[in-house]
Amino acid sequence: MPCNCRSEEITVAAHCLLNPLTRVRGLAPVPFQPEGPTVQLPCPEALYLGLERWAVTRNQLDVPQFRRFCRTLIEPYADLLQMLAHEGASLRIVGLAGSPSCGVEMTSSGYTGGLPCGAEHVHVSGRGVFMEELLAELERRGVPFRAEEIGKK
């Protein structure tokens, strides 16, 4: 008798929770050990800016071209998540607290460009750009999910 394995919970994780090598250089890995099936989302910042990028804040990424890029990445994943949810899976989306791209409840603000000088940034309430686009796309499609974040300081 085949089991309906697709009815279980699926963790949908920000990329660097499983592969910390995409984080901005010098940032420590965030401990994360998902149980059960896990979908690893793409890392929008590494794919857009590369591995030698500077740390950025949400206001710097909140530009049309980065949002467009995020939506391009998101579309096939939203297709997959929609199909899995249609088969009965419950989706648990896990972002990274404070990230300008992947924060769910908390993101970052403060850098305004210019030469790198160690300027201060702060964590503020709100979603990162990539997560905002992903969750909005799932809502637009009527795909049920719950979203949380880890890594709060």
Tokens (6 digits) for 68? 């467009």
User: What is the binding site for ligand SF4 (CB under 6 A)?
Assistant: 14-16, 22-23, 43-46, 96, 99, 101-102
Q: How far is the CB of 35 from ligand SF4 (least distance, A)?
A: 20
Q: How far is the CB of 3 from ligand SF4 (least distance, A)?
A: 32
User: CA separation (Å) from 9 to 19, 71, 144?
Assistant: 21, 24, 12
Q: Residue 6, SS3?
A: helix
Between 43 and 85, CB nearer to ligand SF4: 43
Residue-level length of the chain: 153
Q: How far is the CB of 23 from ligand SF4 (least distance, A)?
A: 5
Between 51 and 142, CB nearer to ligand SF4: 51
Q: What angle do CA 114, 116, 122 make, to 5 degrees?
A: 90
